[in-house]
């Protein structure tokens, strides 16, 4: 665990070094795309006025974001990801696409300057992943200290994520217009909401007795510790009992779990490929996978998901950077400060929310965001707030 303190700064320095190395390619690619865009005052055009304000990516006439709004939204993204181990990428995407207006701006170039629209779309994806990657790094460290991270499970997921994230970005970078991206984004999130809703039904709950037992044990222990009562150390936290290629066994607050490492490895490939394609962390798929297939309670799923997401995000970001995707560094830097605040607060506050409450929050957000982006992307129909 002592070496973990170096993981975040070393990882960030490596990504920044790669970005600086490819910076000339970023500038040339973006400049060429801007030069090909038509000049004018209509949507999908670059303003003729040389003094027009430069917003996102330094493009004249692009959206200019209030820094206070950007910081506060990033705090929310960091909190929700570090609390439930998911939905950070989805909320980062909502912020970049809808709240800040980058999505509508990218979509305006679909017919007039498709190359520029695709570059902005890839930048939105990378921006989402920078935020989720930082939150995942901080959350992983915090959950590891609290013994709420199943490292063998996260590692097997992460190994699969390396393959899936690289493959998805290799195949999709620079090829997806914004409206298509938005529609697919909504479709996957909506499907997620439907699956989570099913899990709240009697049929879904009947399959999760182990997770419910572990969640109750954790909540009872937290209440006892808060009231000053003594708790048996053997029944506190996470304890790995056995790990091999075919089996991993552990206990969480006295409740036994076991899984075959091959299953999360394969799951990691599929989930990270989907997540990288959408430009999100994948926690919104990893958490249901962990709570359904391995029956982890939300208290363990959040931390375990975070470490797997971190591996996927680093792989995906590096691949996008090597493809020449430009990054708005000043804007991302401000957001990452907000992410850090939210990510440190999340693990400390999650114990005050019940497992059921967190899942209900998850369902509401999934359905509303999913329907909104599905309608906007594929049918050009907007609903309020999305």
What digits encode the pLDDT tens for the residues 156-196? 888 888 888 888 877 776 777 888 888 988 888 888 778 77
The two structure tokens encoding residue 130: 């920078």
pLDDT at 3: 47
- Kindly tell me if the per-residue pLDDT of 234 is higher than 80: no
Decide if pLDDT at 14 tops 60. Answer: no
Look at residue 232 and tell me whether its pLDDT is greater than 70: no
Would you say residue 270 has pLDDT above 60?
yes
> Could you please report the per-residue DSSP string of 216-256?
HHHHHHHHHHHTT----GGGSSEEEEEE-SS-EEEEETTEE
Q: Six-digit token pair at 260?
A: 């075959």
Highest mean pLDDT range out of 136-140, 206-210, 260-264?
260-264
Q: 92, 297 in Cβ contact below 8 A?
A: no
Q: Rounded to 5 degrees, what are φ and ψ at 129?
A: -70, -30
Structure confidence at residue 105 (pLDDT): 94
Under 8 Å between Cβ of 193 and 367: yes
Distance in angstroms (rounded) separating the CA atoms of residues 12 and 134: 9
Least confident of 178-182, 351-355, 364-368: 351-355
Token pair 């029956």: residue: 295
CA triple 275-291-288, angle to 5 deg = 30
Integer Cα distance of 28 and 107 in angstroms: 22
Whether the predicted pLDDT of 2 surpasses 50: no
User: What value does the mean pLDDT take over residues 310-328?
Assistant: 84
| Torsions phi, psi for 256 (to 5 deg) | -80, 145
- Please, are residues 131 and 335 in contact by the beta-carbon 8 Å criterion? yes
Q: Which helix (H) or strand (E) holds 243?
A: strand 238-243
For residue range 62-115, what is the model confidence (pLDDT) as tens digits?
A: 999 999 999 999 999 888 877 766 677 788 888 999 899 999 999 999 899 999
Q: Which of 305, 304, 315, 306 is nearest to 276 (CA)?
A: 315
pLDDT at 386 over 80: no
pLDDT (0 to 100) of residue 213: 66
Rounded to an integer, what distance in angstroms lies between the CA atom of residue 302 and that of residue 88? 11
DSSP 96: I
Q: What is the pLDDT of residue 225?
A: 62
Q: Name the nearest CA neighbour of 94 among 332, 323, 278.
A: 278
Helix/strand/coil for 269 = helix
Closest-CA residue to 236 (of 225, 223, 252)? 252
- Percent with pLDDT over 90 in the chain: 18
Of the ranges 205-209, 246-250, 279-283, which one carries the lowest mean pLDDT score? 205-209
pTM, 2 dp: 0.76
Handedness of CA 271, 273, 275, 278 (dihedral sign): negative
Across the range 128-144, mean pLDDT stands at: 83
Q: What is the pLDDT of residue 335?
A: 94
Predicted confidence at residue 22, as pLDDT, reads 54
């Amino acid at each position: 665990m002592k070496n973990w303190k170096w993981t975040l700064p070393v990882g960030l320095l490596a990504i920044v070094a790669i970005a600086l190395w490819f910076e000339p390619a970023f500038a040339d690619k973006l400049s060429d795309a801007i030069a090909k865009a038509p000049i004018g005052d209509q949507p999908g055009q670059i303003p003729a006025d040389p003094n027009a304000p430069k917003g996102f990516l330094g493009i004249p006439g692009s959206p200019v974001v209030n820094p206070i709004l950007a910081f506060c939204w990033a705090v929310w993204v960091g909190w929700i990801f570090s609390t439930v181990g998911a939905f950070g990428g989805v909320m980062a995407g909502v912020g970049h696409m809808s709240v800040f207006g980058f999505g509508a701006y990218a979509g305006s170039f679909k017919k007039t300057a498709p190359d520029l629209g695709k570059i902005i779309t890839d930048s939105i994806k990378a921006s989402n992943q920078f935020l989720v990657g930082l939150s995942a790094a901080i959350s992983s460290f915090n959950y590891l200290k609290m013994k709420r991270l199943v490292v063998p499970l996260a590692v097997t997921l992460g190994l699969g994520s390396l393959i899936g994230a690289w493959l998805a970005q290799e195949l999709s970078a620079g090829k997806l217009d914004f409206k298509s991206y938005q529609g697919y984004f909504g479709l996957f999130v909506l499907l997620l909401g439907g699956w989570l809703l099913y899990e709240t039904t009697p049929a879904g709950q009947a399959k999760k007795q182990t997770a419910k037992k572990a969640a109750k044990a954790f909540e009872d222990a937290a209440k006892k510790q808060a009231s000053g009562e003594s708790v048996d150390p053997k029944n506190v936290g996470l304890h790995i009992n056995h790990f091999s290629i075919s089996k991993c066994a552990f206990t969480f607050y006295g409740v036994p779990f076991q899984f075959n490492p091959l299953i999360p490895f394969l799951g990691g490939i599929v989930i990270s490929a989907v997540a990288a394609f959408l430009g999100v962390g994948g926690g919104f798929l990893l958490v249901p996978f962990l709570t359904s297939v391995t029956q982890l309670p939300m208290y363990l799923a959040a931390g375990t998901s975070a470490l797997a997401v971190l591996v996927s995000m680093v792989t995906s970001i590096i691949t996008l950077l090597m493809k020449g995707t430009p990054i708005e560094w000043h804007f991302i830097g401000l957001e990452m400060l907000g992410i850090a605040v939210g990510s440190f607060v999340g693990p400390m506050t999650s114990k005050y929310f019940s497992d059921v409450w967190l899942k209900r929050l998850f369902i509401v957000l999934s359905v509303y965001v999913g329907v909104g982006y599905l309608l906007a992307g594929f049918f050009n129909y907007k609903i309020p707030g999305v």
